[in-house]
């Protein structure tokens, strides 16, 4: 699912436009407790996907705003332009800088506070997203990534979530050591890799009045369409993606078991080698000969490299996301069933 542009956050996070605007959080404490998004930003994100997103195509963009105490206010955004690998002359960092400079000239909020990305059936827990968010969050402490799910939104409810990397994972990413020992020492599992930040969507009073007027003009039949129990293949696709990730996890488990067998086999070889050396030294001592010189056994038996465990954690996190999506989908359909039954009883 990862698109070419998912790595662009590393470049975009290189300039700390909003660095120092928020209060520095204490150790182990999140710098942002709540994300407040203007309704216009939500509409821009939805419009961006509708214009450029096709199927599993990922669209991304930059979030602008400011930090007030422990609340991140997102007041504006602009998309990353679509371009191909052939556009060698295109500089994404320069493009972002020019956009922010232009917004500043017209007195619009231009401080960089994160980025957004669409997702395909919740498939966003990837290494590319991890690397991009680390770059943003390392340069701008309060940065968040907004994940917009157009498929869930099409089912009748807006799906927009904000995520940050946990302090533990930030420390591990800084060290760039993803070995099993390092992850175990840091006590990192897929449950504590990302932290979700609550979102509040804010609209002006005029927009609220307009929404109420639109609500009054909407037809009753249109409202009832949201009670349809048709899955639109949503459940089947989610289960297929879930099985694919389970297969990948199974392959990673096989690789790790192979590593453990190799380690055990090498330990046996080391033990046999030491026993042979000990017996040979005893024989040499009985003949009055000096013992064999000491050798670094680690040089003779190079330990096998353990497979990186970060990919396994990301796969486990993606499996958990799919399970949550399936659970929410079933709960939503159950609620629709009860509501449809209640309407039928009311009409009768």
Same domain? 100 vs 46:
yes
Together in a domain, 99 and 49: yes
Lowest mean pLDDT among 16-20, 128-132, 259-263: 16-20
CATH code for the domain of 197: 3.40.140.10
Specify the higher pLDDT residue, 144 or 32.
Answer: 144
Does 224 share its domain with 99? yes
234 located within any domain: no
Same domain, 177 and 250: no
- Domain shared by 114 and 220, yes or no: yes
The answer to whether the CB of 186 falls within 8 A of the CB of 171 is: yes
Dump pLDDT digits (tens) for 203-262: 887 777 777 777 666 554 445 555 555 555 777 788 888 888 888 888 888 888 888 898
Query: Based on the domain organization, do 170 and 99 belong to the same domain?
Result: yes
Give the CA-trace dihedral at 127, 50, 157, 110, to 10 degrees.
70
For the ranges 29-38, 86-95, 174-183, 281-290, the lowest mean pLDDT is seen at 86-95
Let me know whether 171 and 204 are in one domain.
Answer: yes
Q: Which of 228, 254, 279 is the last residue of a domain?
A: 228
- Residue 276 lies inside a defined structural domain of this protein: yes
On whether both 216 and 282 belong to a single domain, the answer is no
Neighbours of 325 (CB within 10 A): 22
Same domain, 132 and 207: yes
* Region class of 207: left (phi > 0), else alpha (psi between -120 and 50), else beta: alpha
Same domain assignment for residues 221 and 254: no
31 pLDDT above the threshold of 80:
no
Are 99 and 197 within one domain?
yes
Number of folded domains in the chain?
2
Check residue 227 and report its DSSP letter. G
Predicted TM-score (pTM) of this structure = 0.70
Give one word for 28, left, alpha or beta, with left for phi > 0 and alpha for psi -120 to 50: left
Secondary-structure percent of the chain, ordered helix, strand, coil, rounded to 5? 55, 15, 30
Q: Is residue 42 part of a domain?
A: yes
**Domain region containing 274:** 246-289+299-347
In the numeric block, the tokens 């954690």 are attached to 313
Does the structure show a pLDDT above 80 at 147? Answer: yes
Residue 103 is assigned to a structural domain of this protein: yes
24 domain residue, yes or no: no
Tell me the CA end-to-end span of the chain in Å, nearest whole number: 48
State yes or no: pLDDT of 88 exceeds 70: no
**Mean pLDDT, residues 49-54 taken together:** 83
Residues 291-323: pLDDT tens digits? 877 777 777 788 888 887 888 888 888 888 888
| Residue 309 placed within a domain | yes
Question: What's the pLDDT score for residue 224?
Answer: 52
For residue 238, is it within any domain?
no
Any domain includes 41? yes
Question: What residues contact 216, with CB distance under 8 A and at least 6 apart?
Answer: none
**283 in the same domain as 187:** no
């Amino acid at each position: 699912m990862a698109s070419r542009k998912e790595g662009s956050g590393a470049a975009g996070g290189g300039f700390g436009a909003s660095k120092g605007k928020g209060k520095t959080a204490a150790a182990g404490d999140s710098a942002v407790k709540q994300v407040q998004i203007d309704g216009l930003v939500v509409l821009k994100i939805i419009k961006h996907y509708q214009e450029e997103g096709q199927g599993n195509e990922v669209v991304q963009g930059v979030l602008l705003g400011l930090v007030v105490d422990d609340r991140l206010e997102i007041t504006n955004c602009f998309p990353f332009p679509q371009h191909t690998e052939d556009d060698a002359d295109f500089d994404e960092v320069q493009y972002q800088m020019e956009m922010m400079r232009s917004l500043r000239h017209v007195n619009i909020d231009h401080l960089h506070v994160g980025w957004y990305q669409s997702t395909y059936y919740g498939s966003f827990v990837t290494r590319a997203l991890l690397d991009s968010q680390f770059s943003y969050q390392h340069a701008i402490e309060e940065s968040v990534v907004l994940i917009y799910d157009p498929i869930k939104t099409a089912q009748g409810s807006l799906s927009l979530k904000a995520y940050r990397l946990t302090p533990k994972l930030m420390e591990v990413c800084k060290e760039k050591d993803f070995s099993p020992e390092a992850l175990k020492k840091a006590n990192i599992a897929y449950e504590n890799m990302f932290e979700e930040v609550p979102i509040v969507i804010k609209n002006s009073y005029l927009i609220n009045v307009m929404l109420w007027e639109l609500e009054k003009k909407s037809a009753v039949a249109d409202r009832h369409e949201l009670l349809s129990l048709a899955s639109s293949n949503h459940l089947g696709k989610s289960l297929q993606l879930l099985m694919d990730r389970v297969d990948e996890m199974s392959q990673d488990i096989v690789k790790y078991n192979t590593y453990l067998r190799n380690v055990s086999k090498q330990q046996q070889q080391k033990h046999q080698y030491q026993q042979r050396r000990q017996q040979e030294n005893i024989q040499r001592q009985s003949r009055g000969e000096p013992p064999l010189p000491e050798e670094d056994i680690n040089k003779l038996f190079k330990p096998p490299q353990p497979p990186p465990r970060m990919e396994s954690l990301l796969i486990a996190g993606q499996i958990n996301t799919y399970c949550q999506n399936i659970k929410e989908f079933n709960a939503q359909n159950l609620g629709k069933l009860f509501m449809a039954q209640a309407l039928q009883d009311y009409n009768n």
